[in-house]
Amino acid sequence: MKAVIIREFGPPEMHRVEEVQDPLFGPDEVLIDVRAAAVNFPDLLVIGGKYQILPARPFTPGKDAAGVVVALGDKVTSLRVGQRVQVQLEHGAYASRVAAPALQCHLMPDEMSFVEAAAMGLVYQTAYFGLIDRAQFKTGETVLINGAAGGVGLAAVQIVKGLGGIVLAAVSNPEQAKLVLSHGADHVIDLSGNDLRDSVRSQVHAATSGRGADVVLDTLGGDVFDGSLRALAWCGRLVVIGFAAGRIPDIKANYLLVKNISVLGLHWSDYRERQPQRVAQVHEALMKLYRAKAIRPEVMKTFPLEQYAQAMQLVQSGQALGKIVLNLSTDQ
């Protein structure tokens, strides 16, 4: 089989697609023919040696795949050979075959393509867990989504609208603004200016008649985080998802006290490992929204596996709108 192999940590262009043996799979695992794999921002951190969980080298990156079950471990009873599945992994998706625990494989709707399924893995799970499990979102609340044109951000825009919320979509340019509005955002928050600590708050207050946002989903950190914390409504909740802007912010505890606000962290992979049944429940909730046409992944571009470096560089540049997917099959 073919796989991207990381022998030393470094940028995308220093690695290669290699011919390797099919992976071995255990009694609780299945072997999957991969048809599509999503490119996620954490993949860049992993191959660069900068992520909080780093696999032993050599390894294959990639946290999302979709494909067909081709073999079962002796103890697997929940799946059958030939079924189409969405797969969540710590790493290994950038390959033509992957072994995965059966508990981390979820059936796809018949009408869903492999590219869509790959694109709806990590980012939609992250957005849903951040919104529902961490922020305890309630119908009718206002949600500020930072980095709203990216993978997690656009998934969150769709989920909030699908569940009856009001979306303030924070983006950096007119192209991103057009995209989030086409997916149902109620207001656009402009992140292109200076002094974001003040401008984010002033824009949010203008859009909410001075009340602020009930929930913030923050994938950026930096000055955007600082402004978002000040833009929370009384008893608001801010969920820390990532630091794509670069700076990991500090929090002054008096801000939390004055308005009874909460700052919560989300590391979704912990849920995959600790509460796989909850992940399966969220998958079903997302598939219900998909069947109702409330959510649909925005796939900006697909690349063949051999062009994985170009795909990763597009995500790294910050120019990706929605999702970038590696397409390993013409049978979509």
What would the 3-class secondary structure string for 226-243 be? HHHHHCEEEEEEEEECCC
Q: Is residue 44, in this structure, part of any structural domain at all?
A: yes
190 and 303: one domain? Answer: no
State pLDDT tens for residues 26-78: 999 999 999 999 999 999 999 999 998 899 999 999 999 999 999 999 999 99
319 and 255: one domain? Answer: no
Q: Is residue 196, in this structure, part of any structural domain at all?
A: yes
241 and 175: one domain? Answer: yes
For residues 261-285, average pLDDT: 96
Q: Is residue 274, in this structure, part of any structural domain at all?
A: no
Q: Is residue 232, in this structure, part of any structural domain at all?
A: yes
CATH number of the domain that 192 lies in?
3.40.50.720
135 and 242: one domain? Answer: yes
pLDDT of residue 318: 84
165 and 264: one domain? Answer: yes
138 and 232: one domain? Answer: yes
149 and 116: one domain? Answer: no
pLDDT of residue 244: 85
The confidence band for 255, taking pLDDT boundaries of 50, 70 and 90, is confident
CA distance 271 to 278: 8
pLDDT of residue 65: 97
Domains contained in the chain, number: 2
Q: Is residue 194, in this structure, part of any structural domain at all?
A: yes
The confidence band for 319, taking pLDDT boundaries of 50, 70 and 90, is confident
198 and 214: one domain? Answer: yes
Which of 150, 125, 68 shows the shortest CA–CA distance to 289? 125
Q: Quick check: 330 pLDDT over 80?
A: no
- Provide, rounded to the nearest whole percent, the portion of the chain with pLDDT above 90: 93
Q: Is residue 283, in this structure, part of any structural domain at all?
A: no
Q: What range does the domain containing 198 cover? A: 123-268
Give the number of residues written for the chain: 332
234 and 191: one domain? Answer: yes
48 and 180: one domain? Answer: no
- State the average pLDDT for the chain: 95
147 and 216: one domain? Answer: yes
For residues 322-330, average pLDDT: 90
pTM for this one? 0.94
Q: Is residue 165, in this structure, part of any structural domain at all?
A: yes
| Separation of CA 23 from chain center | 26
Residues 222/243, Cβ–Cβ less than 8 Å: yes
pLDDT of residue 246: 82
Q: Quick check: 331 pLDDT over 60?
A: no
102 and 199: one domain? Answer: no
pLDDT of residue 236: 98
Q: Is residue 290, in this structure, part of any structural domain at all?
A: no
The confidence band for 332, taking pLDDT boundaries of 50, 70 and 90, is very low
Residues 6/45, Cβ–Cβ less than 8 Å: no
State pLDDT tens for residues 163-201: 999 999 999 999 999 999 999 999 999 999 889 999 999
For residues 257-265, average pLDDT: 95
Q: Could you write out the DSSP letters of every residue in 37-70?
A: EEE-HHHHHHHTT-SSS-PPSSB---SEEEEEEE
CA distance 201 to 74: 56
Q: ∠ CA 66-153-231 to the nearest 5 degrees? A: 155
CATH number of the domain that 56 lies in?
3.90.180.10
